[in-house]
């Protein structure tokens, strides 16, 4: 049978309350008594319930993290950044996904009600922002890792420069002489899609090469839509010498369709993505892309939450970590 706190108290000839105080470092205790209790704990190999200790301390030392799914390639980078910070500070992570829709959210809500974690990091599953905001208003510390650029500012967030990142892609294409880009967008309801469209289009317009409607294609951040977008453009006779995709997966799909159509990359068509997921460096040819600071965003969000636990107010404005630009052979032979 497992060793209990009652066993420790009986062997040390103290009360269970005294054992609890030793475990939690609370209250005035005679040092010889505390030493005797610690010796018995070591002798019996007693391991206290982390949940019980957390409740006694008023803190679980666990952070929750809610994400849509683990299938998106960039989520692992954000997650690793958060974990690096949490583990360094001896916090645990309780991870929730929305793979099963409403059932997943019910399970998540039960853990919120049980106060299983001290605060929450969120990569917003679509349609849950109002619920997350309600939890925050009710007192749950929340930091949003905002990949969609659509927050109202009510929830503290960490984001990046979608508009400027897309602008850097446009300037690069103009510098290498490409003036007729095809744009494969992200989901239109996402703020990041609007920001990337605006940042890219404004640079081309200022250079005297406005992007016409026939070269702006809807997308959904998948390889399949990247393939379909380029195929549709070729079949309809749209002339283009570059592709700017709103994420790397769409860019990879575009490259596949270009190869299938016999078009050389980058000689005939230069291709630029957005994210800089690990796969981007290993495509054929390697993909030029806007580097999102994914791991840094996870780190910053975790640090913000932990600082709040130590008394620092949550920020009332987004933390913005800028994008950078990574040039590879998909644009420069």
* Helix (H/G/I), strand (E/B), else coil: 201: helix
Average pLDDT over residues 279-284: 96
Q: 292 vs 161, 169, 248, CA distance in Å?
A: 8, 13, 11
The residues near 213 (Cβ < 8 Å, ≥ 6 apart) are: none
Contact 195, 152 (CB under 8 A): no
CATH class of the structural domain 62-160+294-322: alpha beta
Q: Which tokens in the block code for residue 199?
A: 């940042």
Residue 149 pLDDT > 60:
no
Using CA atoms, how far apart are residues 74 and 294, in angstroms rounded to an integer? 7
pLDDT, tens only, 118-129: 999 999 888 888
Domain positions in the chain are 5-57, 62-160+294-322, 162-292
Identical fold, 62-160+294-322 and 162-292: yes
pLDDT in the model for residue 58: 62
CATH architecture of 162-292: 3-Layer(aba) Sandwich (3.40)
pLDDT in the model for residue 151: 53
Geometric angle at alpha carbon 119, from 113 and 120, rounded to 5°: 90
Rounding to the nearest 10 degrees, give the CA dihedral for residues 144, 249, 226, 196: 40
Q: 306 vs 83, 112, 144, CA distance in Å?
A: 12, 18, 14
Q: Which residue intervals of 155-287 are DSSP H helices?
A: 162-175, 191-206, 223-235, 248-260
Instruction: Look at residues 162, 161, 121 and name the one whose alpha carbon lies nearest to residue 314.
Output: 121
Q: Which CATH fold would you assign to the domain 5-57? A: 434 Repressor (Amino-terminal Domain) (1.10.260)
Residue 289 pLDDT > 90:
yes
Average pLDDT over residues 159-187: 97
pLDDT in the model for residue 128: 87
What confidence category does residue 150 fall into, taking pLDDT thresholds of 50, 70 and 90?
low
pTM: 0.80
Average pLDDT, the chain: 90
pLDDT in the model for residue 228: 97
């Amino acid at each position: 049978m497992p060793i209990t706190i009652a066993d420790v108290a009986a062997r040390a000839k103290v009360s269970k309350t005294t054992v609890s105080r030793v475990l939690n470092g609370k209250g005035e205790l005679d040092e010889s008594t505390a030493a005797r209790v610690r010796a018995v704990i070591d002798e019996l190999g007693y391991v206290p319930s982390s949940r019980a200790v957390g409740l006694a301390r008023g803190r679980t030392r666990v952070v929750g993290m809610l994400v849509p799914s683990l299938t998106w390639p960039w989520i692992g980078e954000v997650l690793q950044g958060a974990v690096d910070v949490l583990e360094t500070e001896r916090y645990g992570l309780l991870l929730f996904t929305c793979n099963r829709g409403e059932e997943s959210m019910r399970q998540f809500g039960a853990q919120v009600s049980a106060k299983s974690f001290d605060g929450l990091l969120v990569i917003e599953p679509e349609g849950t922002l109002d619920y997350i905001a309600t939890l925050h208003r009710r007192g749950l510390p929340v930091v949003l890792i905002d990949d969609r650029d659509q927050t109202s500012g009510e929830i503290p967030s960490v984001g990046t420069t979608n508009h400027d990142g897309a602008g850097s892609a446009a300037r690069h294409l103009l510098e290498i002489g490409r003036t007729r880009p095809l744009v494969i967008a992200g989901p239109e309801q996402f703020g990041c899609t609007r920001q990337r469209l605006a940042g890219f289009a404004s640079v081309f317009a200022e250079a005297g090469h406005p992007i016409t409607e026939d070269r702006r294609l809807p997308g959904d951040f998948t390889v399949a839509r990247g393939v379909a977008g380029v195929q549709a453009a070729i079949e309809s006779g749209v002339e283009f010498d570059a592709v700017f995709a709103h994420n790397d997966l769409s860019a990879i799909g575009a490259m596949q369709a270009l190869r299938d159509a016999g078009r050389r990359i980058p000689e005939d068509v230069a291709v630029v993505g957005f994210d800089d997921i690990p796969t981007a460096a290993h495509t054929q040819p390697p993909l030029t892309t806007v580097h999102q600071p994914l791991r840094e965003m996870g780190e910053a969000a975790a640090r913000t939450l932990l600082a709040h636990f130590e008394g620092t107010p949550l920020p009332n404005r987004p933390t913005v970590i800028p994008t950078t630009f990574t040039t590879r052979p998909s644009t420069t032979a």
